[in-house]
Structure 1
Amino acid sequence: MKHRRTVLSSAIAAGLIVSSLGAFGAASAAPAPTTSTTSDRTAAKASSDIALKGYAYGTRVVGGQVPAGSGMTAFTVIGCTGKAGITRGNVVADADLQGSGNVSGVKTELWTRNVDGALHSYSRSTTAEVVLADSPLGSLSIRGVTSLSHAWHDAKGFHAATESSVGKIVFTPPVGDPQVLDLPTPGQPVEVPGLGTIYLGQGVKTVSGSGATARAVALRIDLRPSTGSEVYVARTTAQALAGVKYGRFGGYSAGTEVNALDGTITSGRNPLSLMPCQGTKGQVQGRDDATVDLGGQIVANGVTSRQWGKRYAHKSVAWERGAVAGLNLGGGQLVVDAVVGRAKVTRTSGGKLIRSTDGTSLGTITVNGEPQSFPDSGVIEIPGLAKLEPKVVTKVPGGLSVVALRITLLDGTGAVIDLGVAKTTIRP
């Protein structure tokens, strides 16, 4: 039976906690991300069958009234690389947690290294303080939250490790002095009456003959009793994967994606499928959404994403496909059916790249009940409502991206709705 510690218990001094799922030993100790060595530079030029990747963020709020596709503070990613010596990071001084509180001092760091021939991927996230929204009983501050994930490959094979720590948790009642609370432990979360429950996060390590993945989240805070949301603090992921010597697969697909005029994503890529570095080994993978509400009386139905990638003896082939069965804008002012975007890439053993948009198609477009067809200009403009552009294709390094139909709203918001989104790359 799981036990819960509450703020009604006596407060004790808090200290450092380390995930029992695998503390870092001397052999895997993380070097400073600013370090660069001769072996790093050599590895950056060398071909390798090992790909390194990872991502990290400080906080993320899900559930409740939080919009789908809401951002993650200080998000950083290394997509899929065979190079050591890469360092990336992000910093956020302060951010609002969508009505659940605020966060300050968020820093994420990702780096890859070659240490005596072993290839390492590191992912670290640190958060100085999370202050949760006040409850009638007071407020809660969580300080000094860190997680670190590490995946690597050496002469003995693949390895993974995770580590998390929390400085202290401080509860400030409406009357009286602040209290330093016990830290959560596995099976013993900390309950704050009227606000929520703080759970120790998890570290997950997956190791096989073809790769290693390390994932960690320092804390999960259940605020559903008060705000209907959950907050994840200090999420990290690091991977080392084999099977990419003859090309690294990449890309994504989604049925819909919406961007505001200033570039801020107001509805993320839905449903999003991300191509694995190694492809899908000839299996079709994907996601489905029955309905996606894009806001402003814009609803998409039958929204899907699909992907496929396979490595042959003398070539690698992959495709991404995003589709929408139907879109209704403005209560029937604009109705679009059967939108499909497909991007296919083939890379031969000689390095030749073949790009294709075969399979990209549009069904019917109806404006106020009247069927429409694209003029010679290639653009349909509906005064005061929207501008429609078919088959927006962009060449990218190692592949191409396709938007089957781009809808730009003419209501003053400048919002852009992309339907049938697909991007595929195969890079050496």
Structure 2
Amino acid sequence: MNARIGLLTRAAATVTALGVTFSGALVLAAAPAQAQRYVTPYGFEGSAFGTRVVSGDAGLRSGRSAWSPLGCTKEAGVTRGNKVASVQESPQIDIGAVTSTNTTYRRAKRGVVGVRGVNRIADVTLRGSDGAALALTGLATRTHVWRRDGARRFGASTDFSSSDVSVTVAEDTPVEGPLGDLVQGAQDGIDGVLAALQENGGRIAIPGLGVVRQGSAYTIERAGIGVASGYMLRVTLTDGTEVQIGRSWSKMVRDLPAGPMGGGATAVEIDALAGIVQSGRIATQPLPCEGTHGKVRRSPLAGADPGNADALVVDGARASAYGVQRSTGAARGWTEATITRAALGDGAVVLGAVTGRANVSQSADGRVRVNAAGTTIGSLTVNGTERAIPRDARSFAIPGGTARVEVNLVERTRRSIRVTAARVTLFEGTAGEISVRLGTAKALIRRK
């Protein structure tokens, strides 16, 4: 057995999770009854979810519980929803039922169109040492953006609510100062908690549990765009794990002469990683509904070594997006994900200069073209020896049976394309399986 492979096999059996287990009993909500659809002059977008956990060690994020995304559309009467019965993140984190919905609507008699996002969480309990805890019940985050006939600007609103909040402190902990404000504020529910946080610089420590921070809430009400964004709370536990609670986001834009755009890029998507994580993304950048007005948007440059176990080491990960729409109805957009170097299995498999790129364009007469030009892999090294990537193969096995590599994975429709530069799977079907997508990009232009 190769020394590097043997090292990883042993590591897979002994490495513990990053303080969280990304899991949950997923129950998709029954498809809601759709209202009659109506094509508007506006583009709608939205997203809502209950919780997300970010590892303090690696910066990897768990899946968003009950995530309900609303891709850009010009249609009113569209509803998207999702629901989970419960989520068991770790012994420290218990999350009850979560429900999320996004709805676009038209009220013809009132002369108004809009989009609403709602996230509801039955309960969240975070536990620390010596009995310290934060418990929240009946949480709701709501966002709403609308436009009235003849109005010069969009309207937008964000609000939070709860039925109960309790803060339990460890024995012999003085309840005074900011902590006292938090305990007192909890008696008034989430409004009291947020008020206490605002009065104390946006963060209050609970000894033995961690630091509670206010999330964010803002609205944009302009002639060309309306946005409502709400993030209820962020709690950083003592081990560095961050728990994000209660998210909803709604957006409307006008002037989409080419139609709604969409997609995005992710440098690294982890499906399974040697018992350390089961989901996670590194470096992402979306392509907005209206495009980027001809400017390139880039994510921060990122690197990671989840669990410090050398199962996956990533350097120079970045995602970018570009989109422009013309008054003629012509448009062009692309998304791109790049990685300078990705080493899997303690360096057993190394890929260099990986780029995944998705391109989409539309002519003034409505013809759409998509392609994956620019998708490349600069190098492949196996056990220290550089190997050529077969030109005529989309999938090939690494000699010795330790890994399978798939390259240039492309899914396309008439108006969209999704590209993955490489997908690497080590120890397939075993407890130590590693499955990672490198350089994933998607771009699209919808009719409505």
Report the secondary structure of 1:136's partner residue: helix
Q: Which residue matches 1:423? A: 442
**Which shows bigger deviation, 265-274 or 125-134?**
265-274
Please report how far the alpha carbon of residue 397 of structure 1 lies from its aligned counterpart in structure 2 after TM superposition: 5.3
Letter in 1 for 2:294: G
Please report how far the alpha carbon of residue 173 of structure 1 lies from its aligned counterpart in structure 2 after TM superposition: 7.1
Letter in 2 for 1:128: A
Please report how far the alpha carbon of residue 138 of structure 1 lies from its aligned counterpart in structure 2 after TM superposition: 4.5
Report the secondary structure of 1:393's partner residue: strand
Q: Percent identity?
A: 28
The unaligned stretches of length 5 or more in structure 2 are 1-30, 172-182
Please report how far the alpha carbon of residue 112 of structure 1 lies from its aligned counterpart in structure 2 after TM superposition: 1.1
* Correspondences of 1:172-183 after superposition (within 5 Å): 181-182=186-187, 183=192
Tell me how far apart the structure 1 counterparts of residues 170 and 380 of structure 2 sit (CA, whole Å): 59
Q: Which residue matches 2:145? A: 151
Tell me how far apart the structure 2 counterparts of residues 154 and 278 of structure 1 sit (CA, whole Å): 20
Task: Please identify which structure carries the higher strand content.
Answer: 1
Report the secondary structure of 2:417's partner residue: strand
Q: Which residue matches 1:125? A: 119
Tell me how far apart the structure 2 counterparts of residues 411 and 390 of structure 1 sit (CA, whole Å): 17
Report the secondary structure of 1:291's partner residue: strand
Match of 1:255 among 257, 267, 272: 267
Q: Which residue matches 2:82? A: 90
Change in Cα spacing, 1:274 to 1:409, as seen in structure 2 (3 Å) is same
Letter in 1 for 2:93: G
Match of 2:358 among 334, 338, 343: 343
Q: Which residue matches 1:216? A: 230
Please report how far the alpha carbon of residue 153 of structure 1 lies from its aligned counterpart in structure 2 after TM superposition: 1.4
Q: 1:175-209 CA distances to partner (integer Å, 9 max, x unpaired)?
A: 9xxx9953322425776443345455542111111
Change in Cα spacing, 1:379 to 1:195, as seen in structure 2 (3 Å) is closer
Please report how far the alpha carbon of residue 211 of structure 1 lies from its aligned counterpart in structure 2 after TM superposition: 0.8
Task: Please identify which structure carries the higher helix content.
Answer: 2
Change in Cα spacing, 1:134 to 1:108, as seen in structure 2 (3 Å) is same
Tell me how far apart the structure 2 counterparts of residues 426 and 394 of structure 1 sit (CA, whole Å): 15
Q: 1:304-338 CA distances to partner (integer Å, 9 max, x unpaired)?
A: 21211111234111111111222223344322222
Q: Which residue matches 1:166? A: 162
Letter in 2 for 1:278: E
Q: Which residue matches 1:57? A: 49
Letter in 2 for 1:119: V
Q: Which residue matches 1:396? A: 413
Q: Which residue matches 1:306? A: 320
Change in Cα spacing, 1:374 to 1:245, as seen in structure 2 (3 Å) is same
Tell me how far apart the structure 2 counterparts of residues 234 and 290 of structure 1 sit (CA, whole Å): 26
Tell me how far apart the structure 2 counterparts of residues 195 and 45 of structure 1 sit (CA, whole Å): 49
- Checking the alignment, whether the CA contact within 8 Å between 1:310 and 1:317 is kept in structure 2 is yes
Report the secondary structure of 1:49's partner residue: strand
Change in Cα spacing, 1:377 to 1:391, as seen in structure 2 (3 Å) is closer
Tell me how far apart the structure 1 counterparts of residues 211 and 61 of structure 2 sit (CA, whole Å): 24
Change in Cα spacing, 1:265 to 1:113, as seen in structure 2 (3 Å) is farther
CA RMSD of aligned residues (A): 2.9
Is residue 274 of structure 1 aligned with residue 270 of structure 2? Answer: no
**Which shows bigger deviation, 91-100 or 314-323?**
91-100
Q: Which residue matches 1:195? A: 209
Q: 1:326-370 CA distances to partner (integer Å, 9 max, x unpaired)?
A: 222334432222222211111123221111222122212222314
**Which shows bigger deviation, 59-68 or 69-78?**
59-68
Tell me how far apart the structure 1 counterparts of residues 216 and 404 of structure 2 sit (CA, whole Å): 47
- Checking the alignment, whether the CA contact within 8 Å between 2:60 and 2:280 is kept in structure 1 is yes
- Checking the alignment, whether the CA contact within 8 Å between 2:170 and 2:208 is kept in structure 1 is no
Letter in 2 for 1:318: G
- Checking the alignment, whether the CA contact within 8 Å between 1:275 and 1:307 is kept in structure 2 is yes
TM-score, structure 1 normalization: 0.80
Q: Which residue matches 1:26? A: none
Letter in 2 for 1:404: A
Please report how far the alpha carbon of residue 114 of structure 1 lies from its aligned counterpart in structure 2 after TM superposition: 0.4
Please report how far the alpha carbon of residue 303 of structure 1 lies from its aligned counterpart in structure 2 after TM superposition: 1.5
Tell me how far apart the structure 2 counterparts of residues 397 and 83 of structure 1 sit (CA, whole Å): 20
Q: 1:199-234 CA distances to partner (integer Å, 9 max, x unpaired)?
A: 5554211111111100112333343xx343333322
Is residue 352 of structure 1 aligned with residue 362 of structure 2? Answer: no
TM-score, structure 2 normalization: 0.77
Q: Which residue matches 2:246? A: 234
Report the secondary structure of 2:299's partner residue: strand
The unaligned stretches of length 5 or more in structure 1 are 1-32
**Which shows bigger deviation, 184-193 or 349-358?**
184-193
Change in Cα spacing, 1:375 to 1:150, as seen in structure 2 (3 Å) is closer
Change in Cα spacing, 1:265 to 1:109, as seen in structure 2 (3 Å) is farther
